[in-house]
């Protein structure tokens, strides 16, 4: 009986900690939507019976808790009333940014390679904006670009690591302080304090610098 009560107590404390994150998530979602004009929506929750699994119907989901489901991506909005209603009803839902359009896009790569690349970029004096980190991948936010721009950029390259991913129009990423099935989403490079939308660099500058950094340092990023 003592062991059962102990487990129940630990479960209550864990659930309490998760519930306590509700105000923080709501505040962040409102800031993104209203002050920065980034369209957001709640992501599907991770499966409470197994945090590594997703709450969506796909049993083989590769981004558990870190993608939109209901509502779908097209519902992303900057409307404060809608954002407050969503997170009032789903207080622990991950915050999903719909990339592209007027919102930032992103370039992501595996976490270990990203850490080494950012160190190389810092040494070169490259200016970066916010960088979003998950346990497996980091995403560098960039200015919105079109698929045509991205295609021309990549075509001009002799080599582009296959581990790079591009989150443009019709894409999405999870934003801090979300908790997903893969772990916590955090700022590796946080936006500067203030109400203005954070500065982000052009995609050309980021791709050029990241490819050069990965190639020059001999980083062999896994294809994940």
How much is the pLDDT for 158?
85
pLDDT at residue 8, as a whole number: 40
Tokens of 182: 């893969």
pLDDT at 93: 92
Lookup: tokens for 195: 């109400």
Residue 68 token pair: 């939109």
User: In the prediction, which pLDDT does 208 show?
Assistant: 87
Per-residue model confidence (pLDDT) at position 192: 82
Tell me the three-class secondary structure of the chain, residue by residue. CHHHHHHHHHHHHHHHHHHHCHHHHHHHHHHHHHHCCCCEEECCCECCCCCCCECCCCCCCCCCCCCCCCCCHHHCECCHHHHHHHHHHCCCCCEEEECCCCCCEEEEEEHHHHHHHHHHHHHHCCCCCCEEECCCEEEEEECCCCHHHHHHHHHCCCCCCCCCEEECCCCEEEECCCEECCEECEEEECCCCCCCCCCCCCHHHHHHHHHHHHHHCCCCCCCC
Which residues neighbour 151 within 8 Å (Cβ) at sequence distance 6 or greater?
none
What pLDDT does residue 133 have?
97
Over residues 120-150, the pLDDT tens digits come to 888 888 899 999 999 999 999 999 999 999 9
Predicted structure pTM score:
0.84
Task: Please list the pLDDT of the chain residue by residue as tens digits (224 residues).
Answer: 444 434 444 444 434 344 566 789 999 999 999 999 999 999 987 666 656 678 788 888 888 878 888 899 999 999 999 999 999 999 999 999 999 999 999 999 999 989 988 988 888 888 999 999 999 999 999 999 999 999 999 999 888 888 899 999 999 999 999 998 888 999 999 998 776 889 999 999 999 888 887 776 554 444 44
Contacts 24+ apart (CB under 8 A), 44-48: 44/68, 44/69, 44/70, 44/93, 44/94, 45/90, 45/92, 45/93, 45/94, 46/179, 46/180, 46/181, 47/181
pLDDT of 51: 60
Query: Taking the CA of residue 34 as centre, how many other CA atoms within 13 Å lie in the half-sphere pointing to its CB?
Result: 12
pLDDT at 209: 86
Per-residue burial over 190-207, b = 16 or more CB atoms within 10 Å of its CB, e = otherwise: ebeeeeeeeebbebbebb
């Amino acid at each position: 009986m003592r062991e059962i009560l102990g487990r129940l107590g630990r479960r209550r404390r864990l659930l309490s900690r998760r519930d306590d994150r509700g105000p923080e998530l709501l505040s962040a979602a409102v800031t993104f939507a209203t002050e920065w004009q980034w369209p957001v929506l709640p992501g599907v929750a991770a499966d409470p019976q197994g945090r590594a699994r997703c709450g969506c119907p796909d049993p083989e989901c590769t981004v558990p808790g870190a993608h939109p489901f209901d509502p779908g991506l097209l519902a992303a909005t900057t409307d404060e009333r809608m954002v407050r209603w969503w997170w009032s009803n789903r207080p622990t839902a991950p915050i999903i940014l719909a990339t592209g359009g007027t919102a930032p896009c992103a370039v992501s790569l595996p976490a270990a390679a990203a850490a080494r690349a950012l160190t190389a970029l810092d040494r070169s004096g490259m200016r970066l904006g916010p960088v979003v980190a998950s346990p497996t991948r980091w995403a560098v936010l960039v200015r919105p670009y079109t698929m045509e721009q991205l295609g021309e950029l990549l075509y001009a390259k002799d080599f582009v690591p296959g581990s790079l991913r591009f989150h443009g129009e019709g894409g999405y990423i999870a934003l801090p302080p979300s908790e997903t099935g893969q772990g916590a989403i955090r700022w590796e490079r946080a936006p500067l304090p203030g109400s203005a939308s954070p500065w982000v660099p052009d995609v050309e500058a980021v791709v050029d610098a990241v490819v050069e950094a990965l190639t020059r340092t001999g980083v062999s990023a896994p294809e994940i």
